Amino acid sequence: MEKQEPAIEVEKLHKRFGKLDAVNGISFQVEKGQIVGFLGPNGAGKSTTMRILTGYARATSGITRICGIPVACNPHEIKRRIGYMPENNPLPNELRVREYLKLRARIKELPMRHRAKRIDEVMERCDLSRAQDRIIGKLSKGFRQRVGIADAILAHPEVIIMDEPTIGLDPHQVIMIRDLIASLRGKMSVLISSHILPEIEMSCDRVIIINGGKIVGQGTPKELREAFITSTIYELEINGKIASLRAALVPIAKEFEIDQFSKADSCGFSKATIRIPGVHDCGEDLISCLANSSDLRVRSLGMRQAPLEDVFLAATRRSWETLDTDLAKDELQPGSDEPAETEISATS
Amino acid sequence: MRHFFTLLRAELWKLLINPSTYIAAFLFLLIMGFLFQLILLEYANDPKEESPSVTFFKLFFVPVFFMVPLLTMRSVAEERASGTIETLMTVPVTATEVILSKFCAGYIYYAALWAFTGSFHYLFFSFVQEDSIFDPYPIIGGYAYIAISGTLFLSLGIFASTMTRSQLIAGIVSFSLVFGFIVIGSYLDELALLWISQPAWVDQLAQHTDVIQHSRDFSSGIIDTRAIVLYASCSLAFLFLSILVLEYREGGA
């Protein structure tokens, strides 16, 4: 029976800090073995939700269950089932890496006979073996981050919750962590929040976008794209004039935009980006139409998949618009607009 | 209480590898040595009836005022400020285990520091004239008092530390609590002069809370169970309050 239960279950979760609704009635589920990305601008309520899931913070109302066990009723039991890496990855600066992991293994109730082996294993997986005798306070950010990740996966938890695990890592380490997270697929359920959107897209099965304490979109990256992206983008390399391209495109789509048309390179080819409203595949029509056009020569043509970033921006923008109208109605003081603005500039 | 010893070991290890532990110990012994030497000088000039050890224990509150806040202010406040409390409270440990391990580590360190001052008495008795009588009971009583009162002072300090995330505030609150307990407790009957006619219960209460009197009693060999009950019950109460505060703020089980 227990196998069928979702690993994480959140129902109508509310958390108020004074007048501010940090989390405002969100509900979602994470199935066993799934990797789910948690996206949202700063101050959206991601960390608060994660803290409530780990039993560290109390919810104002709502139900959270980890592996079927309600967090509020039995916080001690759920702590045996989770591996949590908090925001900013706090670590005791005076201990050495191995010492710290040994202590954590002991308090996470890892059986004594497996302890040393498991510590070696996680250090190997997180590429920490070289740094095992170094003092944590003197480690670089990348190493510290990996110590936090090693700690989270140490005791084979059923659910892993990581708050921005890839912050401060270089591209090599990011790839390593991505592989590491991918290797957990099917064995453990993972909930990660991140600002690095390509990361989330590459490693997550499902994405939950949250803004202003509410879920504004959830599903696979493909589903989200369908829901939020309203145009199809083609990139092509073309020899000819922009006016003749415009003329050639008329029979294919009534409305279209040429977003970009670069200067011709030494061979006379320019890069162009065409945006056609609506989601439909008109690649074949484009090829035949451009081939028939006498004053245009095409070197390459490809459809550009909208990056998750666009989905994220579209979803959060949409939610702000509704938030603004709500606020105008209620004449409440706006709280979440400011951090949201900075987030857009940071991600774009 | 499965993780108590693991946490205690970790706390003691952190104390051992921290340079500030040794600096604090050095300062403590320096001040205590200085006090003891002053007492001896005083005795050399003007012979007194009671042994210098008794006078030494009368001054026990001097190091308590600064050592207790220094020792305890870090315990929870530092973990909270650095955020490690979050990783600590999201593993299967209880708030009781966390508080007790921090208290016991602090207490062991405190007791060890006082144990070092035992060497003063040893040095003193090995160099005094041979005909002077060696009376071990004031020393035993004095250290027993230090050990019992230490539980209360450290639990006051731990309590102050669980209330805040700032070590400075924890230190100040801890100092105020310890100071309040020692000074106000000892002079309660004099504060009661504010009343026009002093109620009898104030007198009675003042007798129970007179910390200076307790230390005097213990170091002259009177082991008073009322004092033991007072210190033990108060320290348990403050430890319990600390556990409640930690559970409330960090959602421990």
Is there a domain that residue A140 lies in? yes
What is the overall mean pLDDT for chain A? 83
Q: Do A56 and B17 touch (CB under 8 A)?
A: no
- For chain A, the domain total comes to 3
Domain finish residue from A226, A252, A273: A226
CATH number of the domain that residue A101 is part of:
3.40.50.300
Per-residue pLDDT for A331 more than 60? Answer: no
H-run or E-run covering A3 = none
Q: Residue A15 and residue A24: Cα distance in Å, rounded?
A: 7
Q: Do A64 and A8 fall within a single domain?
A: yes
Q: Do A120 and A258 fall within a single domain?
A: no
pTM score, whole prediction: 0.84
User: What is the arrangement of strands in the sheet containing A189-193, beginning at the earlier edge strand?
Assistant: A82-85, A159-163, A189-193, A35-39, A206-211, A214-219
Is there a domain that residue A309 lies in? no
Q: Do A263 and A185 fall within a single domain?
A: no
Q: Residue A326 and residue A322: Cα distance in Å, rounded?
A: 6
Per-residue pLDDT for B39 more than 50? Answer: yes
What is the overall mean pLDDT for chain B? 88
| pLDDT of A85 | 93
Residues 6+ apart with CB under 8 A from A99: B13
| pLDDT of B23 | 92
- Rg of chain A's alpha carbons, rounded to an integer? 24
Sort out which chain A residues have CB atoms less than 8 A from B18's CB and list them: 94
Q: Residue B29 and residue A114: Cα distance in Å, rounded?
A: 44
Q: Do A105 and A12 fall within a single domain?
A: yes
Q: Closest by alpha carbon to A104, among A83, A126, A121?
A: A83
| Residue-range definition of the domain harbouring residue A336 | 314-347
Cβ atoms B158, B242 nearer than 8 A: yes
Nearest CA in chain A to B8: A103
| pLDDT of B116 | 92
Q: Do A222 and A319 fall within a single domain?
A: no
Share of chain B above pLDDT 90, in %: 52
Is there a domain that residue A292 lies in? yes
Per-residue pLDDT for B138 more than 90? Answer: no
Is there a domain that residue A92 lies in? yes
Residues 6+ apart with CB under 8 A from A219: A206, A207, A227
Q: Tens digits of per-residue pLDDT, A130-159?
A: 988 999 999 988 889 889 999 999 999 999
Q: Which of B2, B13, B251 sits opposite A57 (nearest CB)?
A: B251
Residues of chain B contacting A, Cβ within 8 Å: 2-3, 6-7, 10, 13-14, 17-18, 82-84, 86-87, 89-94, 250-253
Q: Do A334 and A265 fall within a single domain?
A: no
Is there a domain that residue A14 lies in? yes
Q: Tens digits of per-residue pLDDT, A293-315?
A: 778 888 888 887 777 777 778 77
Q: Residue A117 and residue A344: Cα distance in Å, rounded?
A: 44
Q: Do B10 and A91 touch (CB under 8 A)?
A: no
Per-residue pLDDT for A13 more than 70? Answer: yes
| pLDDT of A338 | 41
What per-residue string of b and e applies to A55-87 under the rule 16 or more CB within 10 Å gives b? bbbebeebebbbbebebeeebebbbbbbbbbbb
Is there a domain that residue A320 lies in? yes
